[in-house]
Homo-oligomer: A and B are copies of this chain.
Amino acid sequence: MSAADLPPGWRRPTLDDIRAAARRIEGRVHETPVMHCADINAMLGCDLFFKCENLQRIGAFKARGAMNAVWSLGEEEAAKGVATHSSGNHGAALALAARSRDIASWVVVPDNAPAVKRDSVRREGATVIDCAPGMQNRESALARVVEETGATVIHPFDDDRVIAGQGTAALELLHACRNLSMLLAPVGGGGLISGTAITAKGQNPSIKVIACEPAAADDTKRSFVHGQRLTVDAPDTIADGLRASLGQRNFRIISELVDDVVTVSEAGIIKATRLVWERMRIVIEPSAAVPLAALLEDQVPGASGAMIGVILTGGNVDLEALRWS
């Protein structure tokens, strides 16, 4: 599941692929609500429309990509099941998607993943394979599963079907709010921002698409500026969903379609997370707060007075890390 070179002749998914994904996953994922918040608009002097993927099945947009990938498989291929390694939301998403098609799934989870994540993968019906931490161990555990089962590996972001699925969030958002001039989404491996950019630019090239990432995990910013895919190693950010480095496909799509990449501080991420909890009364994970942090830190040119779509990517937080009572 390491980043392979792009297949020769690869072409990026199109708006039609995203529309096909939307039809494929319809009724299998939620059409999530779009919320707005007068308090936050007043603070920032712009008009924000939040696509609430924290209220998606398994609590994250990842359900879209995994669902599209699983339902894109041929019958024979599907019958052997699907597999991935994940310490985060993609594992639960793939398990959910497999269950919806009544096929098996295997998810390799490193020993050091939070119990809450492992429980969630298991609850969705996957067979959890424990392994020692580290990418090497994860890859070899996954290779063993594939050898034994013939399962198809579904990469969390460097996969055309996954990218097309993630693009359906922006499709719904732009359908619900037709006058947005800008879309903001976080970037980790790049699945969501890739699908978002394809959707937005396919519908209206004048919509600005801005990728937002923690300064502490700024491989996308550096890759974007230098015109080559650079990686980041175990970055120290509270935004645990954004620690991965950009995939090959994702780098290509971002280079071609995204207007800008902006970075935010850790303090800004925490502040933005709290603001959403307090003023919108919804639970988001820190990764989901990165675009709002970019607005709070005034990193987004042209935001003032604009109608802006923001994808709130997920709401899976380990509440054990908070003090209760």
Q: Spell out A's residues near B (CB within 8 Å).
A: 33, 35, 39, 54-55, 59, 116, 123, 238, 266, 270, 274, 277-278, 280-284, 315-317, 319, 321-325
Give this chain's copy count. Answer: 2
Residue of B whose beta carbon sits closest to that of A284: B281
Residues of B within 8 A of A59 (CB): 281
A277 touches B283 (CB 8 A): yes
Residues of B within 8 A of A280 (CB): 55
Cβ-defined partner of A321 (8 Å) among B266, B281, B282, B323 = B323
Complex CA gap A39/B124 in Å reads 10
Residue of B whose beta carbon sits closest to that of A238: B325
Q: How far is the CB of A241 from chain B (nearest CB, A)?
A: 14
Complex CA gap A33/B321 in Å reads 29
Residue of B whose beta carbon sits closest to that of A325: B270
Complex CA gap A321/B282 in Å reads 17
Cβ-defined partner of A324 (8 Å) among B39, B283, B322 = B322
Cβ-defined partner of A319 (8 Å) among B278, B315, B325 = B278
Complex CA gap A116/B325 in Å reads 17
B325 touches A323 (CB 8 A): no
- Most chain B C-beta atoms within 10 Å of own C-beta, residue among A123, A282, A319: A282
B54 touches A281 (CB 8 A): yes
Complex CA gap A55/B38 in Å reads 12
Supposing A323-B323, A324-B322, A325-B270 touch, asked if A55 and B283 sit within 8 A by C-beta, the answer is no
Complex CA gap A55/B279 in Å reads 9
Residue of B whose beta carbon sits closest to that of A54: B281
Complex CA gap A289/B231 in Å reads 44
A274 touches B321 (CB 8 A): no
Complex CA gap A319/B270 in Å reads 12
Q: How far is the CB of A11 from chain B (nearest CB, A)?
A: 36
Residue of B whose beta carbon sits closest to that of A53: B281
Cβ-defined partner of A33 (8 Å) among B33, B116, B319 = B33
7 inter-chain pairs at a CB distance below 8 angstroms, sorted by A residue, are A35-B55, A266-B325, A270-B324, A274-B319, A282-B282, A283-B283, A322-B323
Residues of B within 8 A of A123 (CB): 39
